[in-house]
Every structure is written in structure tokens, then in C-alpha cells.
Structure 1
Amino acid sequence: MKQFFSFVHKEFYHILRDGRTMLILLGMPVVQILLFGFAINMEVQHIRTVVFDPAQDAATRDITERLAANPYFHMQGYVYSPDEINKLLQRGETDVAIVYEQNFNENLVHSKKAQLQIIADASNPNTGTIVANYVTAIVSEYRPHIPYRIEVENKLLYNPEMKSA
């Protein structure tokens, strides 16, 4: 135990006698705090969004308008088939697709639940997850006082295991 304490004492002596080492010990954490706090922005903006809406009813239009009004989303318009969604995602021309079920409003009113699918490009796992969470939050805020439930299914393409490089 005495050897250990003498070793620790010797190391502290070497650290404290060199000004550059002290600068690294005390300066690097400050630089990292400033860098991570101000310079690195994890916020995802300008999310290119397309909508597949076979129902074309009031509820789907209202949710789509809420997404379009959100500053994070850039609505690219409507697509008219699932194949268009796949092509746009494969070419990297869109980041997320919102897919409503066929009878969205009718199911919402009669069975008290409707389904909505979010198809996101998750080639960058952080961005894919954040985009899906943004859409889910907006949908969950849709008419919170009514007893209806909108089930959201997330489908993250191109990286289902969510592995990053």
C-alpha cells in the first residue's frame, strides 16, 4: 500500500510541476462544455416530408396542416402510391413519409382508433429517430380532449438495427 501512495504522490508531483499538463487538465473540460453546449446542434430541421393520403378526409388534412405549420418540416407534397415513397426515399429526395390508412376519419369516429405510419430514412440513426419522434409528438397533440386514439407505427428504413458508424 505504501508503494501505491508513493506512486500517486510522484504522479501528482509531475502533473502539478508542468503548466501545460495543468492547462490540459483544466482547459479541455471547459472547451468541451463550450463546444457541446453551443457549437454542436442536435436539432433536426428542414425535414423533407411527403404524405400518402388515400383517405383525403378532414382529420388527415388537419394533421397534415399541423405538420406543414411546424417549422421543422418542409412539406414536399402528396404522393399517390407507396412505390413513389420508396423511390423518393431510395434517391434521398425525402426524409420522411406519412402514410394514412384508407378510412382514417371513419375508423377514428366509429372504432375510436385509426392508424398512421411514419416511414423515415434512418441511414443516420439519430436523425431517423428524432424525425419519427417529432411526427409522433405532433400527432399525439391532435385533439387531445377527444377519446379517439391514433396509433402511430414507425418504420425506419435503411438501418433497422439503428447502428451508427
Structure 2
Amino acid sequence: MRGRHRVRQVINYANLATPLGLLIAVAGRARVRRGEHGLLYAHGYRIRFPVAGAFTVGNVVITARPDGYLTGALLRHEARHATQWACCAGLPMLPLYLLAVAVSFALCGHPASWNVFERLADLDEGGYPRHPSRWRRRTLEAGGPAPGPSDDLDGKGVV
């Protein structure tokens, strides 16, 4: 395990985010096992909230799906969320994430498209759509100018 992964692991245990993730996984009757990069994978989560293919609390990546689901781009996306938990000092991540969901929903009607945490974790790797903001959508529907380079807010060529 790389040093940065070990540091993230220690921080997320100390800030109580990983113990919270383990508690959530156990409450959802998920099977927990060690994964890559200091992460813990919790497969078979049985609670229907939140509605997501996977979600991360501390260093625990939780999914209702079977073992083998957490690979590739999705795993990289969830690992970035583990780092976000460490950077947000653990439990303050919960209200910050909920605020980001509310802002995204207000901006475009989707909880992830303009959520700063999801954008920083890479929307595409998390499987999220890129919805234009409500005001940009109204401009396009009203026959306004086509999107230009200055409208590409995230540098990925999608407005």
C-alpha cells in the first residue's frame, strides 16, 4: 500500500469516518473485506438508501452488488470520495455533501451533476450524467447561442 493510502486510512479511522462506514455496512448486513489502496469493500448491502451503485463512508466502499462489482473507473471514483472524507475531517463531510446535493439539484434538477464532491471524484467514472444548469438549458431552449469554449466549465468538452 502506498504511503498516501496509508495516511488516508489512518486519518479516516481517527476522524471516525471509517468506523461509521463499518457501522453502516454491518447495519445493512453487507460482507466486509479488505480491498485495494487501504479501502474496505462492503458487498451485499441490503438497505435501499442511498440510491447508488456504490457509496463511500470513510475508507468503506459500500454496495448492494456482489463481490467483483468494485473495479476500474467506479473504484477510482469511490477512492476519491475516501480521500474527500479525510480532507473534510470525517463527519463534517455528511452535511457538506448534503449541501452539495441541494445546490446541484437547485442548479440543474439532478443531485450529482453539479455536486462539487461528485465533480471532483469525476462524474464520468461514477456513472453520473452531465446536466446543463437550468439557466443554460433555458437559453438553449429559447434559441440562444450554442455552447462555446467559455461554457465548458469542467474542461471535458461537455456543457
TM-score of the pair, normalised by structure 2:
0.26
Answer 1 or 2: higher relative contact order, Cα 8 Å, separation at least 6.
Answer: 1
Structure 1 or 2, whichever has the larger Rg, is 1
TM-score of the pair, normalised by structure 1:
0.25
